[in-house]
Amino acid sequence: MSYDIIHFEALGKEAEHLKTETIKAQENNLLPKNLNYLITEKNLQTYLEEYPNTKLPNIITTKTHSILPLEYLMGEKKSVITRSAGYDHFEHLQDKINLTSLREYCVEAVAQTAIKFVYATCGKLNEYTSKTKNFERNNISSFIEINKNRVATVFGVGKIGKKIYELLEINGFSTQAVDIREDELKKEFGDIFNFVTKEKAMKNSDVIVNVMNLTKNPNSKFYNVDYFSDIEFLMAKKGLIFINVTRGEIAPESILLKYYKDGTLGGIALDVFSNESVFSKFLKNEIETKNEDLKAAKEIEEKALALSENFYVQPHQGFNSDLASLSKAKETIKHLCAWYKNNKERFDEQLPYYKG
């Protein structure tokens, strides 16, 4: 069977919305009336195993668990929409394919997830929940009140980071930002952000929220694997709350756990983990590992569920609001319409998003 586009890894409501948004675009003459499309819950490699004679179309959409076959990268330049805010899983192919991601769909959802984590960690929710079992009112730690004397720093003020910054301000923090694109962002937004250096942020922050996109290319000025390391936490303010809502590889779990245990960190909240596909198997006892980050991540997860430490975790679900799946489908089809508008040669917005 030959298709004009295949949407891989489309589950539940998202699959329904992709179909609905495609029909709307066709009715508005933004897509061909005879568009032949497939929506499947399978990832790309699983689908091809079941249907080996499939000829992949010149444009496909995936999430993070699909792997592009080498032969697909040959010949005419292909186009890929990754239905994720992140794009690190295909970033290395941006010179070989037209590549775009979803930069709008989960802004509100992830931003609200970050604020949920802020209140849980600052409020020491696990301890208070645990003490409630015996209605213990006295032998309990003081929670952290949010006010202008508390400093919250957002690392990475793109679309999601900007929203988190705004919500932190609304909630009463003195708010600051760290971003390598400081000059570019000042031109775009003016002086809405209080930019500081990475060093100052580590020294004066009560709360840090990481919202940076993961860049794995070591030749890029945006490279940020292991961005938060011993160097950073050795100058951190004691009791720092650390929240990560983008990619685990930016802040290794072994480092976070180390500095929680020595008292540098006062709380950890993670919506993301390093190498999540492997971590998932490790959690389910499907594999063994000697990887220190995976072992630390498991310890953080276990203690979070036991309510025994000021840890809060969820498995990359920050985007999973009631509105996010609809927004995801709308943005995906918007990219598809742009591709047709551009004579199937490129998207209106595609990598590289930033210079350098």
Query: Where are the domains positioned within the chain?
Result: 5-105+322-341, 107-313
Asked whether 5 and 34 are in contact (CB, 8 A), the reply is no
Distance CA 225, CA 212 (A): 11
Window from 48-57, 84-93, 191-200 with minimum mean pLDDT: 84-93
| Closest C-alpha to 82, from 10, 148, 175 | 10
Report, as an integer, the average pLDDT of 31-59.
Answer: 97
Report, as an integer, the average pLDDT of 313-341.
Answer: 92
pLDDT of residue 356: 60
The HSE-up count of residue 65 (CA atoms within 13 Å, CB side) is 13
From the CA atom positions of the chain, what is the Rg in Å? 22
pLDDT of residue 321: 84
Q: Name the CATH superfamily for 5-105+322-341.
A: NAD(P)-binding Rossmann-like Domain (3.40.50.720)
Task: pLDDT band for 5, please (50, 70, 90 cuts).
Answer: very high
Identical fold, 5-105+322-341 and 107-313: yes
Amino acid symbol at 4: D
Distance CA 163, CA 104 (A): 11
Q: Give pLDDT tens digits for 159-203.
A: 999 999 999 999 999 999 999 999 999 999 999 999 999 999 999
Task: pLDDT band for 217, please (50, 70, 90 cuts).
Answer: confident
| Closest C-alpha to 304, from 259, 257, 236, 258 | 257
Amino acid symbol at 19: K
Report, as an integer, the average pLDDT of 134-149.
Answer: 93
- Report the CATH number of the 107-313 domain: 3.40.50.720
Query: Model pTM?
Result: 0.87
Record the tokens describing residue 271, joined without a space: 């919506």
Handedness of CA 191, 193, 196, 198 (dihedral sign): negative
Please provide the average confidence, as pLDDT, over all residues in the chain: 95
